Amino acid sequence: MAKTIEIAVCGAHMRGLPLNHQLTELDATFVTATSTVKGYRLFDVPEKVPPRPGMVRDSEAQSSVTLEVWSMPLEHFGAFMVQIASPLCIGTVQLEDGSDVYGFLCEADALKGAEEITAFGGWREYLASTPR
């Protein structure tokens, strides 16, 4: 049985961003920066502090989203999960190399009226283009 779990993060949990400590405090280590396969969309989730994106799978989308993969000791995964607030959740994310990892997704209902930011390519790119 695996002793670690790989987790894809696409927003405030990435290196240098406000929620990254939730990973590092649970002994997670950075694995790689990569992207999803085509078929994902990204939105700016309204009213979240700190700001964060919501990613959804949309098989008709021709876009991919940049993200980071982190490895966490399996024994700490439960402690990580209790910190994840709705509408974000963990599901299966397919990476550009064809592999599947667990990662952040967003409940579609919470994105009604949210600004779609897919065209930026990822959360860091969106933040860099938008004064906050």
The H or E element that residue 11 is part of is none
Taking 70 as the threshold, does the pLDDT of residue 132 lie above it? no
Phi and psi torsions of 52, nearest 5° = -155, 160
Residue 76 one-letter amino acid: H
- For the whole model, what pTM was predicted? 0.94
User: Which residues have C-beta within 8 Å of that of residue 108, sequence separation ≥ 6?
Assistant: 56
CA distance 121 to 103: 17
Q: What number is the average pLDDT over the span 1-20?
A: 95
**Domains along the chain?**
4-124 (3.10.490.10)
Distance of CA 8 to the CA centre of its chain: 6
Taking 80 as the threshold, does the pLDDT of residue 92 lie above it? yes
Taking 80 as the threshold, does the pLDDT of residue 1 lie above it? no
Residue (of 59, 62, 65, 71) closest to 122 by Cα position: 65
Taking 80 as the threshold, does the pLDDT of residue 115 lie above it? yes
